[in-house]
Amino acid sequence: MKRVLLFLVMLMIPMQLEAGTRINMGEFKLTFFCPCEICSEDFGHETSSGKIARSEHTIAVDPAVIDIGSRVLIDGIIYTAEDTGGGVNGDHIDIFVESHEETLRRGVQYTNVWVVRGDEYGE
């Protein structure tokens, strides 16, 4: 009986993922960028996906790790992966902020991140 229940639970896991959940991607290095010449060269608010970068919304990711367009939960905020960056490789996310002073103030951080799937956060 226990084996049957375990089997049924294992069958339900993919359904739960489709219904809405967070997928733990592990610990990532977080850095910050702004629209200034130092951080963004001549791109300013323009992202590689064609979107306009917004604070508390836009992140740059390595698309081999996190797909462009993915929603990513970082420290209680849902961001959207809208950009890539030359220095963003592997488990590294660059978070868009409005000022260079803020990039310096926030520095480099490390935290767990989750890719959000389904309708848990309004998808």
pLDDT score at 18: 46
Alpha helix positions (H), the chain: 2-19, 37-40, 100-106
Length of the chain: 123
CA atoms within 13 A on the CB side of 11: 6
Q: Is the distance from CB of 98 to CB of 66 less than 8 angstroms?
A: no
Query: Has residue 87 got a pLDDT over 50?
Result: yes
* End-to-end Cα separation, the chain, in angstroms: 38
pTM above threshold 0.75 = yes
Average pLDDT over residues 41-56: 91
Among all chains, which residue has been given the structure tokens 């089997």?
Answer: 7
- Paired strand residues for 104: none
**What domains sit in the chain, N to C, each tagged with a CATH number?**
22-118 (2.40.40.10)
